[in-house]
Structure 1
Amino acid sequence: MSALPPGSTIGILGGGQLGRMMAMSAAQLGYRCHVYAPEGDNVAADVSARFTSARWHDTEALIAFAHDCDVITYEFENVPVAPLLKLPQELLAPGPRALEVAQDRVKEKRFVEDAGGRPAPYVAVDHDNELAGAVERIGVPGILKTRRDGYDGKGQWAIDSGADAQGIRIPETGCVYEAKLAFECEFSVILVRGRDGEVRFWDSTRNRHDKGILAHCELPAPAIVGEQLEQARGLAAKVAEALGYIGVLTLEFFATKDGPVFNEMAPRVHNSGHWTIEGAVTSQFENHVRAICGLPLGDTRSVSDTMVMDNLIGRQALDLATHLADGRAHVHLYGKSEARAGRKMGHVTWVG
């Protein structure tokens, strides 16, 4: 397709903070955004030209939404795929195949293995009576994860002994049991792929999690990340090519003594890339807009050798004056109405 001119409408499926920051970047380039999401705290709607609140499976509402859009993208990887297949496929960027793969942890791991990647040892667990055998086969410690819908540490159970597996009920959608690996640090590879197949990467931060939620990113990352970056980027590029991907794609890794181990992928802009708003020449949000609209990609280089980003979780976000007391802090609050425990309310970035 030719580049979409300013004034065109970008449809965003999902109404959270990723859609909010994407819409703000789109507006800077002269685009309108139309957000589609079910009822909820849809903060992306606050900064968009139009908002449709309807269920994912409301085919009539979804088709009407698509008629108003020149391109449609996602800020949420758990958008059901089936309703999207009823829309003109040329509107969707990236295509729904990326969602289909990323929504099922077993399918995702197998897809990455086919591309030459290495996840932690794992086995699918579809029924209650299969869990004990999975633990025996993979060993302990391990982690049991739901195959679908888990994020930010939700839908996960640590299993440190066979006794921990007793009494766990496997949901209808199944689970995956995987080994808990020894690793030096976690990092992510964030790329953008244009409609012409060009791929660019941002620097990879060291990522720290608290109770399964990303809490902290920093540059420079430890030396081991730099040593494993070429291999990890090569895998990410292969995954993007295999999916025919358009836009920003993220793969998360464990840096181990035996090389990078794939953890999971996100077919969208990613929390570990929020620092790029101030810390890179072109942010992940702007480059995602550029890619899906058929525009030239922006420079992904970091503007400084050092950078720190902290997520504001729960009530941490409420005291804005305290965060702004440091004149170097770039504060982003997402406009969410309720500061619940474990909820991402904003982030703060320091560059240099």
Structure 2
Amino acid sequence: MSKVQDSQLPLIPVATPPVWLGVMGGGQLGRMFVHAAQALGYKVAVLEPEKNCPAAHAADHHIVADYNDQAALAELGQLCVAVTTEFENVAAQSLAFLAERTIVAPAAHGVSIAQDRIAEKNFFTDCSPASKVLPAPHRLIASKADIDAHSDAISAELLPGILKTVRLGYDGKGQVRVRTLDELRTAVAAFGDTDVACVLEKMLPLAYEISVLVARGVDGATVVYPIAENVHRDGILFTTTVPGPNVCADSARKAQDAARVIVDRLDYVGVLCIEFFVLQDGSLVVNEMAPRPHNSGHYTIDACVTSQFTQQARAMARLPLGDTRQHSATVMLNILGDIWFVGDGKQLREPAWDQLLALPGACLHLYGKAHARRGRKMGHISFVAPTLAQAQQQLAVACGILGIAL
């Protein structure tokens, strides 16, 4: 019986022969997945074209190849009883190719929707009768000519807005705020010399942003983590606070209910993160989803019974999903490469990790990246404490140590 046909059986780790899980992508998410899967007794293979990548430092086997290399994909599929992806820009065709050889979670269908902002918004809209949540008003800008053809409607309904490329945007890349038609035309032109498909979203009166981390097993069992409240700077996640200080019980319930609808409609297996906007009137708007563990879920490593990465391994292996209970209040701070630089210059220094680690409840995670660059995610710190006020106090002290403005 093939591995795919045998997928209804729990993939329990055993010593001989070893049971392998695979991950597409060698970044920090892959690295943290490797650690979690190994703690459960699995061996992990990573497929990633970069030799000196964070996940390869921890993995049991590294296949150095492009994500669409069919020989490499066949090797991964032959070795592993299940494969996942650490980022959504792996080609859905590669996941479909793997699915002919092994279990793939999440499946290509869900990943392909998350890769295309228009497909994603259409999917959220289709879910809205059950989820009770819609995306922001938006319009496809398939070419520069679309702006002139629909200028009146765009001005009346969508400006000021945020222009985003339909594909391949992340951490604030591939998006720009626009207030007028002229700014919109300039932004579209800046995305490329030829017409680039974009989506224009109306800017809404935002109160705060939240994310919902949900996991679903192959049997349809679903668990949801506590609501995370997020703060972004320059399009990059800055802090995640759980429990969110502004999140009311009604907003939390609506967001969690919507997440369950979305994950069920996708027939999803694995961890899914869905980002929502809470508007000033208290209403909820669904923004986007990530078919993988997420930056805003890193707090689960130190503050929850089951981390998001352990949950991903459990779902892939057809094991029971873990307890999502949060045992400590927490604030997670992203560490960017900026703190390695002295002022605005090029001189490098090592941050004062000894002072940071002297703080009670400070849990440091560095990703093993060889070079610091401004704006590059180099690690994160979770501050866990009996109360949220204590965690926030430690965050403030740490930011002072690292030279980060609050």
TM-score higher than 0.5 here?
yes
Structure-1 residue corresponding to 2:74: 63
For 2:59, the equivalent position in structure 1 comes to: 48
Contact 1:16–1:41 under 8 Å retained in 2: no
User: For residues 98 and 278 of structure 1, do their structure 2 counterparts lie closer, same or farther at Cα, with a shift above 3 Å needed?
Assistant: same
Q: Greater CA deviation, 229-238 or 266-275?
A: 229-238
- Does residue 157 (structure 1) correspond to residue 176 (structure 2)? The answer is yes
> Pairwise mapping of residues 35-184 of structure 1 onto structure 2 (< 5 A)?
35-39=46-50, 41-89=52-100, 90-116=102-128, 117-132=133-148, 133=150, 135-167=154-186, 168-169=188-189, 172=195, 174-184=197-207
- Out of 227, 231, 237, the position equivalent to 1:214 is 237
- Give the corresponding residue for 2:392: none
Q: Is the Cα–Cα contact under 8 Å of residues 138 and 178 in structure 1 kept in the other structure?
A: no
Q: Would you say how many aligned residue pairs link Structure 1 and Structure 2?
A: 351
Quote the Cα distance in structure 2 between the aligned partners of 1:199 and 1:45.
Answer: 31
Unaligned runs of 5+ in 2: 1-7, 341-349, 386-406
Q: Distance in 2 between matches of 1:97 and 1:88?
A: 11
Query: Residue type matched to 1:274 in 2?
Result: H
Q: How does 1:1-352 map to 2 (within 5 A)?
A: 1-6=8-13, 7-39=18-50, 41-89=52-100, 90-116=102-128, 117-132=133-148, 133=150, 135-167=154-186, 168-169=188-189, 172=195, 174-256=197-279, 257-304=281-328, 306-316=329-339, 318-319=350-351, 320-352=353-385
Identity rate, percent? 39
Change (3 A) 1:254 1:88: closer
Single out whichever of 206-215 and 314-323 deviates more from structure 2. Answer: 314-323
Q: Aligned partners of 2:372 and 2:77: how far apart in 1?
A: 33
1:186 Cα deviation (Å)? 0.2
Length-normalised TM-score, structure 2? 0.83
Change (3 A) 1:41 1:322: farther
Q: Residues 365 and 380 of structure 2 are in contact (CA less than 8 Å); yes or no, is this contact kept in structure 1? A: yes
Partner amino acid, structure 2, of 1:213: I
- What is the CA-CA distance between 1:137 and the residue it aligns to? 4.9
CA 1:322 to 1:160, structure 2 compared with 1: closer, same or farther past 3 Å?
farther
- The 3-state SS of whatever aligns with 2:206 is coil
Q: Secondary structure at the match of 1:166?
A: helix
Structure 1 residues 346 and 201 mapped into 2: Cα distance closer, same or farther (>3 Å)?
A: same
Q: Distance in 1 between matches of 2:373 and 2:185?
A: 31
Deviation of the 1:337 alpha carbon: 1.0
Q: Take 2:229 and 2:97, find their aligned partners in 1: how far apart are those partners?
A: 40
Q: Larger radius of gyration, structure 1 or 2?
A: 2
